[in-house]
Structure 1
Amino acid sequence: MKSVMIQPFSLNGKVKIPPSKSLCHRAIIAAALSQGECQIQNVNMSEDIIATCEIMEKLGAKIEKNPNSLHINGEGLYDFFHKGIVNNKIENNNSENNEAASIELECNESGSTLRFLIPIAMHRVEKIVFKGRGKLVERTLKPYYEIFDKQNIKYTTDRGFLPLTIDGGFKPGIFELRGDVSSQFITGLLYALPLLNGDSIIKVTTKMESIGYIDLTLDVLSKFGLSIENNNYREFKISGNQSYENRDYRVEGDFSQAAFYLAAGVLGGEVQCVDLNMESLQGDRVIVDIIRNMGGKISLVDGILKASKSNLKGTIIDVSQCPDLLPIVAVLGALSAGTTEIINASRARIKESDRLKAIATELSKIGAEVIEREDSLMIHGKPWLKGGVVNSWNDHRIAMAMAIASIKCTENLTIQDSGAVKKSYPNFYEDFKSLGGKINEWTMG
């Protein structure tokens, strides 16, 4: 198990924010489904992105990995989808050959990979077996199971968990999903349904949360030639028999990762974040407004977002549309004057860890005053935390949030299982050190 010990020290300087993991997933999948060749620029090969690439290759795409970019040829996958096999699968589900054949797809710990690719992989003739590791094995797939049951698609699970074996393909029609579980299920359908041989409608049966992620999906699909009618996020009308068009695409910087360094700047120092698009559709762009509402000094100079040391004050933060920001805004609340309440956070319990419990537990270990509720946190801020030993819960965002908390600790902070950052931001500690962070790393037996 890898651990890091961080000496309290303010961070200063300029950091290039890694590309958006959400957009990387989406662009890679769209390119692999297109006819022809695509260049995807500014790609960070985190563990989650590697999982998506490997599955798209296994489904038939050719992906050439270069430093910071991917060359994707989707002709093999395109030909497979557009020579009648998509429609034939439904008719031939019970064929002898189909009973014998299967294809195994390993998602590692990536929820996006799993939920995005289930509807796409179901176009294959073979049985599909999805596998995963860690917390992903237990993360819910109930919205898909409900659709499988309605469409009489054969599937088996391990008591509702992975591995998941699917023997069948979706038929065009009406798909009803909750909007308050995960937008990833809707994204998966938005990618797959245009390839079917008939029109479909997705009906959202509850209030839609994480709308920003749906906006990213619709934007990428539009850029790759697909047309989807969005009726105020309550209904999506999707024409069948569409085709993905090949194109080149550059992935913009990730606001969910920038959040950690913007927080570092306002907690003590001055950090400049490079390669962020202030017109971005990313829902996590709201971190700029959250920090400003807490009294944080953030300015945009020559296209670079700069965060400077500030006197922060507590506030109410609604994370229903940005659940991934919960760990770092909890750190900011713990170090702000007064009380911070983080509300509408129940979905944070079904991420890589139970993030409400994880961040409350680890911040409390180092002296923060945090009250965990069913779907919220109440935090009474302090000027300093004491340091000590914390654990990442094998969650990349918990690890990074605690690293930023070290800036305002009175003693060294040790993070156990610190390697969890490889899931989304493999170079996090290198960037941390480039800004003046003082880190010792070691591997425990």
Structure 2
Amino acid sequence: MIRIAKPPRLHGTLTVPGDKSISHRGLILAGLASGRSSLRGLSSGKDVASTQRVLRQLGVEMIPGRGGELLVLGKGAAGLKEPESVLHCGNSGTTARLMAGVLARQRFFSVLTGDASLRARPMARVVKPLREMGARIWGRQGDTKLPLAIQGGRLRGIRYELPVASAQVKTCLLLAGLGAEGETEILEPAPSRDHTERLFSWLGLPLQKEGPRIRLRPAEVPAFQLEVPGDFSSAAYFLALGALHGNAQIEIRGVNLNPTRTAFLRVLERMGARVQVSLLRQEPEPVGDVVVQSSRLRNVPVSLEEIPGMIDEIPLLAVVATQAQGTFELRGAAELRVKESDRLHAIVTQLQKMGAAIEELPDGFRGEGGVPLRGVAVNAGPDHRIAMALAVAGSVAEGETILRGERWVAISFPEFFDLLRQIGGTAQ
């Protein structure tokens, strides 16, 4: 339990932890590379630690270096070893789905599992296309849930149309396609995070992207050096807080500004947020500094096409929308019901406790903004993103907010409350 109150002032400069999505992908590609790779600025969250643990069980050596560097001694395409025990992915859906693609092409047997929350999440979305590629995979509930047993072997490239936009499924198939016979082709119904495509192209791998179509030929991964930028999803909580609070100026340095991740920033700007962006570099991802100041916000429409680019920030957007002026409605986010929790239900019910005029829809929410929040006891459940969104709500509410479930921020952003206090926030 943690107590949060609205501070009189929020000012300061922050550096958020490394991007979680890039950290997962960088680690896995380094494990598949031939030779020694260097990664700096990796996410410190438990999800990325799960990917490191699984790779170590497969024989990948990792040596901590100076200044936050991690040296990864890659095993090459065929160098991973059969694990002696079950591969536990913790709470990390990214670890489970991406590693399924890697393991499907290895000529040994393995089992992926996770905690109770992860074992309830859907896995058919990766099992089906991997089976089409020739993989042998079995799981609970008709092969739709973890644990998944995988007998890896020879795969063939396929043409696959994703039923829903999913960066995890796309990456799973691309990782499998690196070791498949022939070309792998993926069609996306809408744009999703493109970290994998950017990393593949940066590494010189034979990937072609034309609109929604992605083509990949099999290839070996070279060793590389990668500096992971700050995680935009982590920065988003402070962008929202700076815009909502009446006396705030917050600078976030070295944050990832990939356009497939920053839909929340674009929506915030359309709402009237006073935001200044300074681009620092472009390769392999655009990175820059962002400054946000206290703003007068007004709700604006959010299109269905924007949802995949801000899927992790939608609970936070619900908080922002309740405090901006005007009515709001968001649809097309049913995917949030099968995350670490039912995030739509969780954020709506907890904001209602705080006095917000918001109601739940089958695939989103709607309501009337500008109704002040009041501090009450709220519960994030086992969900890191709900916990941080409610911490933002508590930091602009009148009176004290008692937040339960705060420990789950360690999944993605263990430094969250320390950084909140660093800029003047109250969290005890």
> Please, what TM-score do these two structures have when normalized by structure 2?
0.90
CA distance in 2, matches of 1:62, 1:152: 29
Name structure 2 gaps, 5 residues minimum: 280-287
Q: Call closer, same or farther: CA 1:102–1:223 in 2, change over 3 Å.
A: same
Task: Pick which of 45-54 and 120-129 moved more.
Answer: 120-129
Structure 1 Cα separation of the partners of residues 301 and 331 of structure 2: 7
Conserved 8 A contact 1:62-1:73? yes
Contact 1:61-1:77 at 8 Å conserved across structures:
no
* Match of residue 167, structure 1, among 138, 148, 151: 151
* 1:242-321 to 2 correspondences below 5 Å: 242-268=219-245, 269-277=248-256, 280-300=257-277, 304-318=289-303, 319-321=307-309
Q: Which amino acid aligns with 1:193?
A: G
Q: How much does 1:56 deviate?
A: 1.2
Structure 1 residues not aligned, in runs of 5+? 86-97, 441-445
Query: 1:382 offset after TM fit, Å?
Result: 2.3
Matched residue of 2:105: which SS? coil
Q: What secondary structure is seen at the aligned counterpart in 1 of 2:4? A: strand
Residues 341-420 of structure 1 aligned to structure 2 (within 5 Å): 341-420=329-408
Look up the match of 1:127.
109
1:23 has 2:30 as partner: no
Q: Which has the larger radius of gyration?
A: 1
Question: After superposition, what is the alpha-carbon deviation per residue over 1:343-396, rounded to whole angstroms, capped at 9, x for unaligned?
Answer: 221112221111111111111111111111111210211252011011112111
Query: What is the rounded CA distance, in whole Å, between the counterparts of 2:298 and 2:4 in structure 1?
Result: 25
State the partner residue of 1:192: 176
The code of the aligned residue for 2:209 comes to N
Determine whether 1:227 maps to 2:206: yes
The verdict on how the C-alpha distance between 1:179 and 1:102 changes in structure 2, with shifts beyond 3 A counting, is farther
The residue matched to 2:241 in structure 1 has which SS?
helix
Q: Percent identity at matched positions?
A: 27
- Contact 2:174–2:184 (CA under 8 A) maintained in structure 1: no
Q: Secondary structure at the match of 1:225?
A: coil
TM-superposed deviation, 1:282: 4.8
- Residue 185 of structure 2: which of 199, 202, 207 is its match? 202
Q: Secondary structure at the match of 2:146?
A: strand
1:90 is aligned to none
Distance, in Å, in 2 between the alignment partners of 1:245 and 1:225 is: 9
Structure 1, 185-194 or 363-372: larger mean CA deviation: 185-194
2:6 to 5, 8, 12: 8
Q: Are the equivalent residues in 2 in contact too, given 1:327–1:397 (CA < 8 A)?
A: yes
Q: Post-superposition shift, 1:152?
A: 5.9
SS at match of 2:262: helix
How many Å separate the matches in 2 of 1:19 and 1:365?
Answer: 33
Question: Contact (CA 8 Å) 2:101, 2:130: kept in 1 or not?
Answer: no
Over aligned residues, Cα RMSD in angstroms? 2.1
Alpha carbons 2:132, 2:158 under 8 Å: kept = no
Contact persistence 2:38–2:224 (CA under 8 A)? yes
Deviation string for 1:326-345 (max 9, x for gaps)? Answer: 01111100111111222221
Structure 2 residue identity aligned to 1:104: V
Instruction: Quote the residue 1:62 is aligned against.
Output: 61
Which SS does the other structure have where 1:112 is aligned?
A: helix
SS of structure 2 residue aligned to 1:320: helix
Instruction: Show CA shifts across 1:274-305 (max 9, x none).
Output: 1125xx32522222221111111112369531
Q: TM-score, normalised by structure 1?
A: 0.87
User: Across the two proteins, how many residue pairs are aligned to each other?
Assistant: 411
- SS for the counterpart of 1:283 is coil
Contact kept? 1:327, 1:359, Cα under 8 Å: yes
Measured after TM superposition, the shift of residue 103 of structure 1 is 4.5
**How far apart, in 1, do the equivalents of 2:119 and 2:165 lie?**
17
